[in-house]
Amino acid sequence: MSTPATGPSARPRILSGMQPTSDSLHLGNYLGALVNWVGLQRDFDTYYFVADLHALTVPTDPEVLRRRTRITAAQFIAGGVDPEESAVFCQSHVHQHAELGWVLACQTAMGEMNRMTQYKDKTAKGQNANVGLFTYPVLMAADILMYDAAYVPVGEDQRQHLEITRDLAERMNARFGEVLRVPEPYIVKESAKIMDLQDPTSKMSKTSSTEKGILEMMEDPARLAKKLRSAVTDTGSEIRFDPETKPGVSNLLVIHSVLSGTKVADLEAEFAGRGYGDLKKAVAEVVVEAVTPFRERMTELLDDPAELDRILARGAERAGLIAQATTTRVRDAIGLLPGAR
């Protein structure tokens, strides 16, 4: 076990979460988020959770939610998050998230939520919004502020949510004294932006990519290889990294480079004078090599849901100690009676 859950920690704390909204991460999520989480474990006190309460903001079948929650947690671990090192837990198991979310909601102006671009985008696309979707960023602020997180690694799409989190922490502190730690924004610069295989000018994305454009971590290796064989390439025949004029080939080079650890320039040299077919074959090999151990570990984890649930229970216990301390501090600061402890 790493640092104790309460008291000053030698290492700054990092928190991040992922919604249980699919049956498999795709390669872009894996390389863009999870690999980064894994790398942070050594130098930080890390808390990683499945944002199951956030998943309720869209209509969800209970069986599907249960399955995807376990899958999402298992993916953290299969991807290299070590539950002995990091607290791995479900948001809903630490009931203080909802409580702090309420307190923060009462500090949030309607106009602030109205301005949130993600909400505006979703409703503009015709999504039938509920109040939970509207206040989604407040719950996210609670997730973050609960743990006195120093940094919150998230993608660019979450920037506005981090800003409102900081605003809410500052507002609480100004009104009630120093109760919440203001987290530093830490937008993860995508070292590798993985593009859609069929439309290599757009990001690989669960919501906008087509079936053939996306590589899922839990997919059958033969299918992955097939998708790579039919990836869109560019006119000409030269294998060169140039996202402007050769987005398809450049994407394949990036995927290979990130997974194999070979520099793009070295790959260009290796494939000089060879055809697109050779490159696709080589990329398929490195992809299959990377997903195979991941799939194996996933299968092990999902075959033993009781053990997975125990891991999540331990994570929630560890997170709960901090959550308890934070909510006690907040309750006291805002004038709620302590009640029974």
**Cα–Cα distance measured from residue 98 to residue 101, given in angstroms and rounded to the nearest whole number:** 5
Q: Looking at 45, 143, 148, 196, which residue binds ligand TRP (CB under 6 A)?
A: 143
Element (H, E) at 154: strand 151-154
17 binds ligand TRP (CB under 6 A): yes
Q: Compute the least distance from the CB of residue 140 to ligand TRP, in Å.
A: 4
Minimum CB distance to ligand TRP smaller for 51 or for 287: 51
Q: Compute the least distance from the CB of residue 311 to ligand TRP, in Å.
A: 20
57 binds ligand TRP (CB under 6 A): no
End-to-end CA distance of the chain: 27
* Residues in CB range of 265: below 8 A, 6 or more apart: 241
Q: Which stretch binds ligand TRP (CB under 6 A): 14-22, 73-81, 183-191, 255-263?
A: 14-22
Q: Which stretch binds ligand TRP (CB under 6 A): 82-90, 150-158, 315-323, 332-340?
A: 150-158
Max distance between CA atoms of the chain, in angstroms, equals: 75
Q: Looking at 73, 140, 180, 194, which residue binds ligand TRP (CB under 6 A)?
A: 140
Q: Looking at 5, 55, 73, 144, which residue binds ligand TRP (CB under 6 A)?
A: 144
Question: Do the beta carbons of residue 210 and residue 284 sit within 8 Å?
Answer: no
152 binds ligand TRP (CB under 6 A): yes
| Residue found under tokens 């307190």 | 103
Contacts with ligand TRP by CB under 6 A: the residue count is 13
Q: What is the four-CA torsion angle of 278, 247, 186, 115, rounded to 10 degrees?
A: -140
Cα angle for residues 14, 36, 81 (degrees, 5° grid):
75
Q: Which residues participate in catalysis according to the annotation?
A: 122, 203, 206
| Residues forming the site for ligand TRP (CB under 6 A) | 15-19, 51, 54, 140, 143-144, 152, 154, 158
